[in-house]
Every structure is written in C-alpha cells, then in structure tokens.
Amino acid sequence: MINLKKPLKKIKNILGLGFVLAKTEFKLRNEGSYLGIFWYLLNPILTFGLLLLVFGDRLGNNIREYPLYLLMGVIMFNFFQSSTIESTRTIIKDNVGVIKSINFPRESLILSIVIKNFFSHFFEMVLFAILLAYFHISLVGILYYFFILFFFCLFIFGVSLTLSSSTVYLVDIENIWSFAVRLLWLGTPIFYAIAGQTKLLYLNLFNPMYYFLTAARDIVIYAKEPDFFIVSGMIFFTALSFVFGVFIFNILKTRFAERM
C-alpha cells in the first residue's frame, strides 16, 4: 500500500509556512499605511476608470454590461500579473539569505505570493460585488466564482513555480516576463470582445487567460453556464501549468542555494 503520510505532511508544511509568509508580507506591505486596503484598489480602479472612459463608448456598445465585463477582466488579470511578476524576484532577490541558510520548503515562498495576492484580489472582488449590486445583477454568481478561482490559483501557482525557478538559471526572465505579460494583456479580451475576429480567436485558444475570463464572466455577470469547451480549456491549462511547474521546480530547487 502506498504510504501517503509523508507527502501529506509535506503539503501541510508547505501550506502552513505559505500562510505565515503571506501574512508577514501582507503586514509589511501595510506597515504605516493609513489608507490600508485602498491601495489595493487604487490600481484596478484607475485602470478600470481610464479604460471605461476611453473605450466605453466605442467598444462597450456591443458588450452587455460593459463596466462589469471590463472590471472582471482587469481584476483577474491584475491577480495573475502581480503574482507572476513578483515570483520572478522572490528567489533571486528577496530571499537569498534565508535560502542559503535554512532548509525549508521553497515552494512556500511561491505559495505565499499567490496567497498574498489572493487577499488583494478578495478586496477587488468586494468592489466588483458593489458594482454588481449597482447594476441589479444577482450576487449568487460570485459564489460559483470561487470554483473558477480555485483553478485560477492553481494555474497561477504553477506559472509562478516555473518562472521563479527558471530565473535562478536565466537571470533576465524577470525583464522578459514583464514584457510578455504586457503583450498578453493586450492580446487578452479584457477591454474588448473577440467575437467576429477569427484570427484573434484562434490566437486566444492558446491563451489560458481567455478561458478563465470567459468562464468567470459567463457565470458571474451573465448568469449562464460556460461552454464545455471553455471549462475543459480552463482545467487543461490548470493541470498543464501545475504539473509542469511542480516538475520543473522540483528539478531546479536542489541547486538554488549554490547558484546564488
């Protein structure tokens, strides 16, 4: 019989330490801040406001509940962007000393980033819920959103594992990823819809964010079940990202301390 006690204990340790590190970082980030959670909302609010002002009339006319459509895109992409960009710095810059001195589960560092950004995302979701209420749309969809969020967190965790460990070996991943994420932002239907644009649709079939955004908008804003194809794509990219991330991180982590 397979003994699951050891791997389960390891997962428990990673989760426990991940939460402690996330809590610490959250405290440090808010230290001396009188505005508190307002800072978390400032970036998405400004981006949302600006995009709504610029594109609201042109692109928004053909999209139902455009402000909600736009805000959902902005906050989900913000979660993905913040977590993955931060993960490119965590091993090679932010935690070098402790990695070279203590043998602890390195995965916790990456997990803590995802948890910390999840906190921020939660506040953004509160803002989103207020907007939903303003548009007289049922808040029940948000409960189903947690199902998508579960896959989304695993997906982000997988991407972050890959990026953080690769950065130890390829020092400019941080710059490349910052650039790539900008391109992805433009290529993902955040402030526009891709209906009728065949080339863009084909491109987005390879874009994991497309599946997560479409599923979330269908469930939360339009109160309809997402297509089977969209759900399958979401699960496929989550599994791919998570398995590949864990695999590559496990191979590379043994040499982290000596490469820095």
Q: Which amino acid is at 44?
A: P
- Nearer Cβ to other proteins (103/198): 103
Q: What is the DSSP string of 27-84?
A: HHHHTT-SSTTHHHHHHHHHHHHHHHHHHTTTTGGGSTTHHHHHHHHHHHHHHHHHHH
Q: Can you tell me the distance from the alpha carbon of 70 to that of 67, in angstroms, rounded to the nearest whole number?
A: 5
Instruction: By CB under 8 A, name the one of 7, 8, 11, 24 that touches other proteins.
Output: 24
Using the rule CB under 8 A, is 176 a contact of other proteins? yes
Instruction: By CB under 8 A, name the one of 3, 61, 103, 198 that touches other proteins.
Output: 103
Using the rule CB under 8 A, is 10 a contact of other proteins? no
Tokens of 207: 């874009």
Neighbouring residues of 233: CB distance < 8 A, sequence distance ≥ 6: 205, 208, 210, 211
Using the rule CB under 8 A, is 183 a contact of other proteins? no
Q: How far is the CB of 28 from other proteins (least distance, A)?
A: 6
Nearest to 165 by CA among 97, 104, 246: 246
- Nearer Cβ to other proteins (17/193): 17
Tokens of 52: 């709504």
Q: How far is the CB of 245 from other proteins (least distance, A)?
A: 18
Q: Which helix (H) or strand (E) holds 228?
A: helix 228-252
Using the rule CB under 8 A, is 41 a contact of other proteins? no
- Nearer Cβ to other proteins (19/55): 19
Using the rule CB under 8 A, is 173 a contact of other proteins? yes
Q: How far is the CB of 154 from other proteins (least distance, A)?
A: 23
Residue located via tokens 């895109």: 73
Q: How far is the CB of 120 from other proteins (least distance, A)?
A: 19
Which of 38-46, 71-79, 94-102, 122-130 is the region at the interface with other proteins (rule: CB under 8 A)?
A: 94-102
Distance of CA 102 to the CA centre of its chain: 28
Q: How far is the CB of 17 from other proteins (least distance, A)?
A: 5
- Nearer Cβ to other proteins (32/196): 32
- 3-state secondary structure (DSSP) of residue 100: coil
- Nearer Cβ to other proteins (28/53): 28
- Nearer Cβ to other proteins (13/194): 13
Q: State the helix-helix crossing angle for 140-169 and 228-252, rounded to 10 degrees.
A: 30
**Interacting residues with other proteins (CB under 8 A):** 13, 16-17, 20-21, 24, 27-28, 31, 97-104, 170-173, 176, 254-255, 257-259
